[in-house]
Amino acid sequence: MQTKELERVARQIRRRDLQAVYDAGAGHIGGEMSAIDILAALYFRVLKVYPDEPRRADRDRFILSKGHTACALYITLAKRGFFPEEEISTFLQPHSRLNGHPNCNKVPGVETNTGPLGHGLPVAVGIATAGKLTSADYHTYVMTGDGEMQEGSNWEAIMAASQFGLGNLTLIIDHNRFQQGAALADTNDVAPLRPKLEAFGWDVTEINGNEMAEIVPALEHRGSRPHCIVAHTNKGHGISFMQDRVDWHHKVPNREQYEQAVAELSEAL
Ligand SMILES: Cc1ncc(C[n+]2csc(CCOP(=O)(O)OP(=O)(O)O)c2C)c(N)n1
Ligand SMILES: [Mg+2]
């Protein structure tokens, strides 16, 4: 898909995500809105994946380490054909496999279980290392939150990836400047991220992570060293009253707010 089409898919995912969170009465809408453009680019342009054979050996791997934003991943996977789109209406319902955090034993296309922050990147380093050792033809992508980068396990994994020369690994940091209940700058401020990753021996690209024309080339970058994309995004991107507001990490819109958000997202369709 080309840029315009990818932008349209991203808008459709945003619209469905808003509805799913509203219907379920729970979710993590802010961090979903910040990540959706990158998810759309991954699944509709960049990743070599096979919805009918989700475990095919040569597939590219993507791990959503910020597992609390599972709903956006479910919608993207369903839209890409991994399971029926109608199933999204079961999100968070009793007996649904679409839980609040993604489960690889239940949901086709989910690579590994996430939710406890700080685990996706270490797992991705293991998968990429295995790929390198076996000369496998797949690329491993992982997306973390910026608050998540406060977890020490990530920095051990960053050291290891550099040591192992993992040119087959891309880390995307969703740098939306907020974590849960606070701005990143008011907690353990890990920004600026670029010099830290570069000091550890990574290639680093900084992009506007809500701008498709910048996202695609960054995801397609290949080199001999592990690659980090510092994606500058907006938490709540696309919905004016949610954007950059800390309370929309996991707040649920009331009816009036829902209708306003639908109108704003529909305008963009
Ligand atoms: C180990 C761990 N500690 C705490 C939490 C609770 N928690 C869920 S989301 C979140 C904030 C994450 O912020 P960030 O990584 O910036 O995510 P985003 O802004 O993309 O939503 C926290 C602390 C968790 N899931 N795992
Ligand atoms: Mg964040």
User: What mean pLDDT comes out for the span 51-68?
Assistant: 98
Range of the domain at 137: 3-268
- At 112-153, the pLDDT tens digits run 999 999 999 999 999 999 999 999 999 999 999 999 999 999
Q: Amino acid identity of 214?
A: E
In short, whether 65's Cβ falls inside 6 Å of ligand 1 is no
From the CA of 147, how far away is ligand 1's center (Å)? 6
For a substitution probing ligand 1, which of 148, 235, 251 has the most ligand atoms within 8 Å of its CB?
Answer: 148
Residue 168 CA, chain-centre distance (Å), reads: 18
CA-closest residue to ligand 1 atom 7:
180
pLDDT of 268 > 90? The answer is no
Q: Token pair for residue 186? A: 């008011």
Secondary structure (3-state) at 102? coil
The domain tally of the chain equals: 1
Closest of 185, 173, 117, 164 to residue 144, by C-alpha:
173
Q: In whole angstroms, how far apart are CA 262 and each of 53, 204, 233, 254? A: 35, 36, 21, 12
Which residue has better confidence, 135 or 268?
135
Instruction: Give per-residue pLDDT as tens, 213-234.
Output: 999 999 999 999 999 999 999 9
Residue 269 banded pLDDT, cuts 50, 70, 90: low
* 12 contacts 269 by C-beta, under 8 angstroms: yes
The encoded tokens of residue 15 equal 């619209």
Ligand nearest to the CA of 66: 1
Number of H helices, E strands in the chain: 8, 5
For residue 229, give the amino acid letter: I
Centroid of ligand 2 to alpha carbon of 220 (angstroms): 23
Looking at the CA of 72, which ligand is closest?
1
| Contact status, residue 29 vs residue 238, Cβ threshold 8 Å | no
- The predicted model gives 78-101 an average pLDDT of 98
Q: How far apart are CA 175 and CA 208, in angstroms?
A: 10
Contacts of 50 (CB under 8 A, 6+ apart): 56, 59
What Cα–Cα distance (Å) separates residue 196 from each residue in 91, 220, 239?
Answer: 37, 22, 32
Residue 56: CATH number of its domain: 3.40.50.970
Is 147 a pocket residue for ligand 1 (Cβ < 6 Å)? yes
Q: Which residues contact 184 (CB under 8 A, 6 or more apart)?
A: 146, 147, 177, 178, 190, 191
pLDDT of 267 strictly over 90: no
The single-letter code of the amino acid at 105 is N
Q: What is the pLDDT of residues 165-214, one digit of tens each?
A: 999 999 999 999 999 999 999 999 999 999 999 999 999 999 999 999 99
Distance from the CA of 99 to the center of ligand 2, in angstroms?
A: 21
Using the predicted structure, report yes or no on whether residue 41 has a pLDDT greater than 90: yes
- Helix 212-220 to helix 3-24 angle, to the nearest 10 degrees? 100
In 3D space, the residue among 126, 131, 18 whose CA is nearest the CA of residue 75 turns out to be 18
Ligand 1 pocket test, pick from 33, 65, 117 with the greatest ligand atom count within 8 Å of Cβ, gives 117
